[in-house]
Amino acid sequence: MSYLIQACTSEESKASDTWVFDTAASHHFCKDKSIFNEYVPISDGKMTVAVEGVTIPIEGKGIVNLRFGHRILKFGEVMHSSKLNRNLISGPRLDRKGVVFEGGKGELRVKENGQLLFKAFLRDGLYVVNPNILNRKQVGFSANSVQKLDARLWHSRLAHIGSHTIQNTVKNKGVRGLKGYVDSNLNCEVCKLYKHRRTSFKATNFVRSKAPNDLIFMDTWGPIKVTGRNGERYYLSIIDDFSKKTSVYPLREKSEVFRVFKNHVSRAERFIGRKVKYIRTDNGSEFTNDNFKTFCADNGIKHEFTNIYTPEQNGVAERYNQTALDCSRCMLADGGLDNKFWPDAVLCFTYVWNRICHKNQVKTPFELFGGYKPSVRHLKAFGATAYVGLPRQLRSSKLGPKAKKGILIGYAFRTKGYRIWFPDTDKVIETINVSFCEEDRGVKSRSGAVMGTNNVDESEDYNMVTIRSSLPSGYNLDSDSDSDCIKTSKTLTPEQEGGSPKVKCVEWIRKAVPRKDGSRTDIYYYEKGCNTRIRSVDTKKYCEDRNIEYIPSVFDFRASNTYEGIVPNRPNPYSLPNSSLCSS
């Protein structure tokens, strides 16, 4: 038997919902008879512990059903002994079922056929897990409960926001997409570890304004030692008092605050047609400079300051920062991502925060500010494994993979879609052409550490939209539009940053293809040795993606030029029939 049973029989009381994953235990053990779904009493049964000959009576055995995320796992041959103070999950018994264990960095991942079953976290020298217990009554309705939304999965999707806040949103029908959510007593290990705090001042729920933009609170958080992927050390939070709608702007330096604030005011006023009347900040130098004074005076904005050493006067912003950071820590830990992703976590949290009814609210900040009810059907767990569809032009071959694996790090800035990070290439794209596996989160290197990134893909292809390497400092995170599901938006084309190493020179083949109706002639180019047809809008991107030297004069897409054949890399404009130089 397991050496861990000595710890399980200690006098220290442990919660009945805590299970220890033990790679040495020959059986599963449970201390609570009430959670067995099937139970057979055993008389005179004893198990012998391999520590000083300790014996513990076995009172029965049976089946226990445990819920891990949206999965319900059935554990058979579970031994019952009320003398235990912890429950045990037997590693050897799972191993015989073909289950695989992967450990490292304080957690143990239990997988079957490549799919994550559950995680156990290292605590006091033991790998522990806290599943939801399904009693006999619950399991009796398991066939119907499949249609209900799983509370634990939605707890992750909604950025580890407290269950009471989610339940308040459901009660008031504040969003679309949460019908069927059933509240439960979640026992989130991640929240317990990363949200522990004491309240420094009493919160107030008094709303000072009567309409959006009457009063906004602002606060700058930072600096932080762990810089973001793109050098961010601060973020600016701007909160509307009436709706509590929040905008977040990751910053490299505090000197960016005024520019971001000015852009935010312009956008907010244009969106709802109401002027900003009051702003409240602390006495930080980023708020007390001449630029702020001049801007507020010119636009009729009254700037209120808190008293020195009295942060509670700006309590709305202070409490938001506290909540955002608590949930962001949980998201990073639960998603298996490095701390360098903290700006992405804060942005993702704020996106969700604006779509949840807060305390004493019957509508979400999104609806109070923008006027209509949002949907949360498209939300996914931060750090979830993503499979991005590849257009035919970018596939390696007809028999090659049709998707690429990445990680969800948030929701798109400029389109309707998701932000996906590819660890193998250190690139980020915005796309709608993606599916998710929310049970498995984070992509780790062979050493067990999540790889960081400083670069972003600049390519564009159909549904995929790329963003620049830095988060848009002056960009309001929360999109002012919403729909039941995220839809494809028009592709953007950011500038290409830097050159590619080892640029290749290739030969091009030009083809002129008349249409059947004789209306026009279509011109296409092919890289010699390849069958990929290139149109005029694709030439530059095709070259950049493949490190091919892009020479605009090579490509002539005029239908009047009917030449077909090999085109030199640097053609003489008079050497080919009907040819002339063209620019792209």
Q: pLDDT, tens digit, for every residue of 277-299?
A: 999 999 999 999 999 999 999 99
| Structure tokens, 126 | 């033991």
- The pLDDT assigned to 217 comes to 94
Structure confidence at residue 247 (pLDDT): 95
Tokens of 465: 């939209």
Estimate to the nearest angstrom the gap between the alpha carbon of 53 and the chain centroid.
Answer: 49
Q: What average pLDDT does range 186-196 have in this prediction?
A: 75
Determine the average pLDDT of the residues in 111-115. 77
Tell me which of 44 and 83 has the higher pLDDT.
83
User: pLDDT class for 569, splitting at 50, 70, 90?
Assistant: low
Q: Does domain 3-133 have CATH number 2.30.300?
A: no
Residues of the chain with CATH 2.40.70: 3-133
Nearest C-alpha neighbor of 441 from the set 374, 308, 348: 348
CATH number belonging to the domain at 163-195+206-370, selected among 3.40.50.11540, 3.30.420.10, 3.60.20.30, 3.30.70.980: 3.30.420.10
Confidence of residue 47 (pLDDT cuts 50, 70, 90): low
Pick the closest to residue 464 from 417, 398, 396, 397 (CA basis): 417
Give pLDDT, residue 520: 85
Residue 502's pLDDT band, with cuts at 50, 70 and 90, is low
Distance CA 208, CA 241 (A): 7
Predicted local distance difference test score (pLDDT) of residue 242: 92
Q: Region 300-306: what's the mean pLDDT?
A: 93
Please determine, for residue 82, whether its predicted confidence score (pLDDT) is greater than 70.
Answer: yes
The helices-and-strands tally (H runs, E runs) of the chain is 14, 25
Neighbour tally for 234: CB within 10 Å: 20
Mean pLDDT on 401-426: 89
Q: For residues 428 and 421, what is the distance between their CA atoms, to the nearest angstrom?
A: 4
Contact status, residue 416 vs residue 486, Cβ threshold 8 Å: yes
Q: Give the highest mean pLDDT range of 147-161, 318-332, 510-524.
A: 318-332
List of E strands, 442-560: 464-466, 508-514, 521-527
Residue 565 gets the label, from left (phi > 0), alpha (psi -120 to 50) or beta, of left
Average pLDDT value for residue range 481-494: 37
For the ranges 27-41, 115-129, 447-461, the lowest mean pLDDT is seen at: 447-461
pLDDT at 144 over 60: no
pLDDT for position 15:
56
* In the predicted structure, residue 577 carries a pLDDT above the cut 70: no
Highest mean pLDDT among 138-152, 446-460, 487-501 belongs to: 138-152
**Mean pLDDT, the chain, whole residue set:** 76
The boundaries of every CATH 3.30.420.10 domain in the chain are: 163-195+206-370
3-state DSSP assignment of residue 417: coil
Determine the Cα–Cα distance for residues 437 and 422; give it in Å rounded to an integer: 15
Identify which of 553, 562, 552, 565 has the alpha carbon closest to the alpha carbon of residue 525.
565
12-16, 251-255, 332-336: least confidently modelled range = 12-16
pLDDT more than 90, % of the chain: 26
Q: Which residues are CB-neighbours of 477 under 8 A, at least 6 positions away?
A: 247, 248, 249, 347, 350, 351, 413
Kindly state the tokens that stand for 341.
Answer: 């992703």
Measured in degrees and rounded to the nearest 5, phi and psi for residue 307 equal -70, 155
CA distance 232 to 516: 56
Per-residue pLDDT band for 8 (boundaries 50, 70, 90) equals: low
Winning range, highest mean pLDDT, from 70-79, 101-110, 366-375, 563-572: 366-375
